[in-house]
Structure formats: structure tokens, C-alpha cells
Amino acid sequence: MRTRVRLGGLAAGLVVAVLVVAPVAAASPWFSVKQTGTFAFAFGETCQDNGDGTTTCQGQSLDVLEGSQKSSGSRRTAGQQVCTSTYTVTFVTETGEPLNQVEAFGCVSDPGTLTVDGLDSITLAATEIDLFQFSCDEETGECTETPAGSITVSGTWMGVGPLVTSTGRFSFDDGVCRIVQSDRTTQRPAEFSGSFEAFDVGMSQGTFSFRTSCIVV
């Protein structure tokens, strides 16, 4: 059985940011990102039994932000951001051991296609995003990106439940590197209709921060 864990509204974006800047910021013990604004995410996955003891799953996530963000070594920026990621993974059905996995990710800033009405509705008109695949050398820590085509995404989030205010914190430390995530948000359950089927959907407003002292590979 496979389990997918979301670290936050633009988790995929944060991980890729770490991949890209970590070698440059290696002299600093921490890489951090802080985002404030209105967020929405959608995630979907389909799996198929291959009949030979393996299973293949395909998934896609879509994350949007209207607000501001700041990362280590850069100035605070304000505006809109749309990110999407796709993956295909084949694994041993009984043990979950991965046999093959391909992932791609991309973001676009201020596309002019995002309309936000608080936590009542968020609409993303058709938006084309260039995708990239990332790989890192475990010995040197250097990461490279390879173009992986493009994808057009769209969707509408509609708030359908009560507003819930929450504060959360997550940390991980294995003695080599450490990850710390915290958020203070007002969240609302949502329904999503768009360019793919999603079963994990949400909207929120507030502040999200992510710090790590390690290179994510």
C-alpha cells in the first residue's frame, strides 16, 4: 500500500526550489520559503494492476497561490503562481517496492488566468506550463533540470463547507538533515472540477513556511 503525504499548499514547488538552490546556498545551514496569501490545491491519482505482480499509478497535482512569497537569498515577491506536477510510478504490488518512476514539475508566475474570490471560489482558466525533470548527484549535491514538454491545466475550486482556523507544525530530523514546516491558516473544504479528476482538494488563507538544512533528492 502506498501513502502520499502533502507537506503544504505548494509542497512540490518547495521541494523543487530546494533542488535548484541548495547547491548554491550550501554555505548556509538553512534554506527557507515563506508564503502568505490564498492557496488552493487539487491532487488525483489512478492505478492499474498490470497482471504480473506489479501496479502502475499515474498522478497529478495542481497548486495555486495569490499573495507573496520569499525564499532564502531572494527578495519578497507578490503576485500569482500556478504549479503542477505529474508522475508515473510502477511498483511491486505486494511490497510497494518502486521499479520505475518518472516525475515532472513546472510553475508559471502571474499568468493572468487566475481569479480569486476569497475562499468562496478560485478559477484557473486554461494555462500552459512548461515541465521539467530534476536529477541530483548524491555525491556532489549538484542538481540539473531537463525539459519535459508542457501541459495545459485548468480548474475551479468552490468552497462547500465551514471555515476552520488552524495552526500546525511538522518537523523531521534524522541526525543528518532537518525539515521544519509550519502554517497558520483558515481552511475550507472545496469541490474541484478541471483538467483532471481530483480527490484531495482544499482551499486556505494564511501563512505557510518551510525550512530545510538538507538537499531533497
* Global confidence as pTM: 0.79
- pLDDT given at position 67: 96
Regarding predicted confidence, which is higher, 35 or 1?
A: 35
Residue 144 has a pLDDT of 76
Distance between CA atoms of 12 and 33, rounded to whole angstroms? 12
3-state DSSP assignment of residue 24 = coil
Q: What is the pLDDT of residues 113-152, one digit of tens each?
A: 999 999 999 999 999 999 999 766 666 666 678 999 999 9
Residue 111 has what pLDDT?
93
- CA distances, 31 to each of 21, 136, 155, 192 (Å): 8, 17, 31, 32
Which of 45, 150, 136 minimizes the C-alpha distance to 89?
45
Residue 11's nearest CA partner among 169, 214, 208 is: 208
Q: What is the mean pLDDT of residues 59-73?
A: 92
pLDDT band of residue 36 (cuts 50, 70, 90) is very high
Query: Which of 5-19, 55-69, 172-186 comes out lowest in average pLDDT?
Result: 5-19
Closest Cα partner for 82 from 41, 143, 120?
41
Secondary structure letter of residue 120 according to DSSP = T
The model's pLDDT over 150-203, given as tens digits with 9 standing for 90+, comes to 999 999 999 998 999 999 898 888 777 788 999 999 999 999 999 999 999 999
pLDDT of residue 138: 61
Q: What is the mean pLDDT of the chain?
A: 84
**What is residue 8's DSSP assignment?**
S
Q: Of 54-58, 70-74, 136-140, 181-185, which has the strongest mean pLDDT?
A: 54-58
Q: Give the C-alpha distances (Å, rounded to integers) separating 126 from 44, 151, 189.
A: 18, 10, 23
